[in-house]
Homo-oligomer: A and B are copies of this chain.
């Protein structure tokens, strides 16, 4: 069995699976929307996890990242793929509170669960805890975590649907 070797078009950022990957860090969240309990990465073992980090006032997230996450959620079977949103606010903190996020998720009809990344213990550090743990460069960031909890892809910015669909299906096809 061979995984999909995905070639990178010149005009797009590289998008290929890390053959092994490090264990994906756990999530540190402060509340959740769209689900009545805290979602832990370990709860999702056995599924491919698509972790979509965004800010509600980030234009690229609103125009590209979140609609793509919705398409992933609508395309793949829930038994194979879990789509999880993470609100990683690292700027304009007073403008993107959970109250505002809740209205945003309602208006944009986001169907998958969204956790709020926990603020740093250091009050002077604007970067929230999970964003820091994953070393995300900004929003939108997309992370693919395999059935065994390993971080196999981490992309910042726009990713094409065709390559992303291929990457997710390759992880689904892997033996546990």
Contact = CB atoms under 8 A, between A and B. Distances in A.
Nearest to A101: B95
Interface stretch (A29-37, A119-127, A128-136, A160-168): A160-168
A174 B170 CA distance: 10
Interface residues of A, number: 50
Contact of A103 (B96, B103, B164): B96
So how many copies of this chain end up in the complex?
4
A20 interface: no
Interface of A: 1-7, 9, 57-59, 62-63, 68, 71-72, 74-77, 79-80, 92, 94-97, 99-100, 102-104, 106-108, 160-170, 172-175
23 contacts: A1-B173, A2-B80, A3-B173, A4-B76, A4-B169, A4-B173, A5-B77, A6-B76, A9-B71, A9-B74, A62-B62, A75-B162, A75-B166, A96-B100, A97-B100, A160-B161, A161-B161, A161-B165, A163-B165, A166-B169, A169-B169, A169-B170, A173-B174
